[in-house]
């Protein structure tokens, strides 16, 4: 009798207030990871870890939940960087997980001066 294959993990990539890392994963019977995760939990490269931190910090500096983005340029820059991070993250975890990129702040308004 063969063992059941392990359930493939799904890493969710999205920012949230007061979180150092925009990485999330729902635990499964196979992977009990909690909900909030870190780059170290996935063995991510130092370069990708630095990029994720900068992407999250940029969001914190330029997006406000009540007022939105401080500029169209900031929103577009963050969105493009997020797509690249999602691609790189997918490459680094391809052996054990899929990545679900959820850039909800891109729908946010632009602050009016």
Burial 38-52 (b: 16+ CB within 10 A, else e): ebeebebeeebbebb
How high is the pLDDT of residue 1? 46
How high is the pLDDT of residue 42? 94
| Structural domain span for residue 60 | 9-107
Report how many domains make up the chain: 1
Q: By the 8 A CB rule, do 36 and 80 touch? A: no
Q: pLDDT (tens digit, 0 to 9) for every residue of the chain, 113 residues total? A: 445 446 788 999 999 988 899 999 876 555 566 678 899 999 999 999 999 999 999 999 999 988 899 999 999 999 999 999 999 999 999 999 999 999 988 877 788 65
2 belongs to a structural domain: no
46 belongs to a structural domain: yes
113 belongs to a structural domain: no
How high is the pLDDT of residue 24? 93
14 belongs to a structural domain: yes
27 belongs to a structural domain: yes
1 belongs to a structural domain: no
How high is the pLDDT of residue 28? 57
How high is the pLDDT of residue 2? 47
57 belongs to a structural domain: yes
């Amino acid at each position: 009798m063969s063992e059941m294959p392990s359930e493939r993990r799904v890493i969710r990539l999205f920012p949230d207030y007061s979180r150092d890392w925009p990485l999330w994963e729902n635990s499964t019977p196979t992977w009990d990871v909690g909900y909030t995760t870190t780059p170290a939990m996935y063995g991510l490269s130092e370069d990708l870890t630095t990029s994720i931190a900068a992407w999250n910090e940029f969001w914190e500096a330029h997006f406000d939940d009540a007022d939105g983005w401080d500029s169209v340029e900031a929103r577009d820059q963050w969105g493009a960087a997020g797509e690249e991070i999602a691609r790189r993250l997918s490459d680094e975890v391809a052996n054990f997980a899929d990545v679900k990129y959820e850039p909800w702040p891109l729908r946010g308004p632009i602050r009016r001066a």
